């Protein structure tokens, strides 16, 4: 039920984006800095890692993507884009709480 509700929200966000409305979530800057996200990612250009826009595009309509990505952000996991997996949170800047992972993934998927 909750997952269904979340999917509706995501679908709404996708519609808003395709209608040309500005980006959804504000950047959680402190978390992004602490976890060095922008060391490997940019918002719109693939660099060492896929861009956040590519990631949002790929997962926007995928059920349970939010939960899968939160888990991956905290603990790492196998690569979905190429050969290089993303290092887990402890190797990026310190442990990441479930709540903070949720905030980050919501932000990425709103790009
Ligand atoms: C050391 C480099 C590095 C840092 C730092 C980094 N990433 Fe990544 N990230 C990667 C790479 C490489 C991939 C592609 C991994 C793959 O193929 O699944 C990736 C993939 C992702 C994905 C998609 C995962 C998937 O399964 O498709 C998300 C979401 C993501 N990063 C978010 C973040 C966020 C948010 C931060 C900061 C909290 C961050 N990354 C920090 C290198 C990094």
Packing angle of the helix pair 52-59, 65-75 (nearest 10 deg): 140
Domain count, the chain: 1
Residue bearing tokens 């603990």 = 75
- Kindly report, residue by residue over 39-87, the tens digit of the pLDDT: 999 999 998 899 999 999 999 999 999 999 999 999 998 899 998 899 9
DSSP codes joined into one string, 23-64 = PSSPP-HHHHHHTTHHHH--SSS-SSS--HHHHHHHHTT-TT
Indicate whether 95 pLDDT > 90. yes
Mutate which of 10, 39, 41 to test ligand 1's pocket (most atoms within 8 Å of Cβ)? Answer: 41
Best of 49, 95, 104 to mutate for ligand 1, by most ligand atoms within 8 A of CB? 49
Q: Which domain holds residue 104?
A: 2-109
Task: Write down the pTM of the prediction.
Answer: 0.83
Nearest residue to 71 via CA among 95, 93, 101: 101
Residue-level pLDDT at 24: 76
Closest CA to ligand 1's atom 8: 86
- Residue 69 belongs to a domain with what CATH number? 1.10.760.10
């Amino acid at each position: 039920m909750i997952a269904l509700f979340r999917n509706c929200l995501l679908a709404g966000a996708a519609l808003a984006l395709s209608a040309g409305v500005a980006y959804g979530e504000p950047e959680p800057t402190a978390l992004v800095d602490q976890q060095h996200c922008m060391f490997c990612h940019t918002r719109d250009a693939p660099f060492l890692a896929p861009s956040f826009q590519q990631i949002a595009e790929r997962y926007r309509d995928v059920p349970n993507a939010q939960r899968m990505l939160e888990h991956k952000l905290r603990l790492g996991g196998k690569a979905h884009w190429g050969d290089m997996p993303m290092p887990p949170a402890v190797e990026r800047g310190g442990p990441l709480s479930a709540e903070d992972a949720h905030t980050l993934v919501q932000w990425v998927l709103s790009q």
